Copies of this chain bind each other. A is one copy, B any other.
Amino acid sequence: MTPPIRILLADDELLIRTALSQMLDLEPDLDVVAEAPTGTLAVPLAIKHAVDVAVLDLQMPGLDGIAVAEELAEQLPDCRCVIVTSHGRPGHLKRALAAGVRGFLPKTTSAATLAAVVRSVHDGGRYVDPELAAEAIAAGDSPLTPRETDVLELAASGAPIDEIADRASLSPGTVRNYLSNAMTKLDAANRHEACAIARRLGWI
């Protein structure tokens, strides 16, 4: 008889975390040994309990799920990561895969799937929600340069050019050029539409 799989569960919503934890614990071969309400707390906890699999919510205060996966890849390389998310943006999937994440699935999947993915990932397998995978392939890669992405991110709050320039330590003219480039690449009529598009695709 193999020992149960040791799991860390990270999600900022206590209600969801407890519910999910109880549900996974119902499986005899799964054992939730640690829970974290933030990404920042998740890393040391995973190490301390030497968990086999980390089930990470994507959007959390502090470190997000992908950042946690990156940290764990370095500090606890034997730990496999599964990302669970409400909003399945193509860009997120790509970043997650690049971070060495082994499983990626939306919260709309069934409980049985989650348990199956945890087991499969623990055995060295991989799993990506087919729908999300298709979207990611269809969306392609971000056409934005790193700096364009930065600037667009700053623009997302709705700040005027001068403030963006200030926060990015750039001249206002440069900011406008970057935004103009981004708008062209994203085929948007103005920078706010560009933000909306980039956000939808997970590029910012």
List the B side residues contacting A13 at CB < 8 Å. 86, 106-108
A15/B158 contact (C-beta < 8 A), A22-B22, A22-B26, A192-B192 known: no
Chain B CB within 8 A of A114 CB: yes
List the B side residues contacting A196 at CB < 8 Å. 157-158
B-contact bits for A91-114, CB 8 A (1 contact / 0 none):
000000000000000111111001
Please state if B18 and A23 are interface contacts (CB–CB under 8 Å): yes
The oligomer's copy count stands at 2
Please state if B157 and A16 are interface contacts (CB–CB under 8 Å): no
A107/B160 contact (C-beta < 8 A), A22-B22, A22-B26, A192-B192 known: no
Give the residue of B15, B23, B86, B194 whose beta carbon is less than 8 angstroms from that of A114.
B15
Q: How far is the CA of A157 from the CA of B196 in the complex (A)?
A: 7
Chain B CB within 8 A of A134 CB: no
List the B side residues contacting A106 at CB < 8 Å. 13
Q: How far is the CA of A160 from the CA of B190 in the complex (A)?
A: 8
Chain B CB within 8 A of A133 CB: no
Give the residue of B12, B18, B110 whose beta carbon is less than 8 angstroms from that of A15.
B110
Closest to A155 in B: B192
> Which A residues between 7 and 29 are near B, CB-CB below 8 angstroms?
12-16, 18-20, 22-23, 26
- Those 10 A-B pairs whose CB atoms lie nearest each other, nearest first: A158-B192, A19-B19, A158-B193, A13-B107, A19-B23, A18-B111, A15-B107, A158-B196, A192-B192, A19-B20
Mark A residues whose CB is within 8 Å of B.
12-16, 18-20, 22-23, 26, 84, 86, 106-111, 114, 157-160, 188-190, 192-196
List 8 other contacts, CB 8 Å, given A86-B86, A159-B189: A13-B86, A15-B20, A16-B16, A18-B110, A158-B189, A158-B195, A158-B196, A160-B189
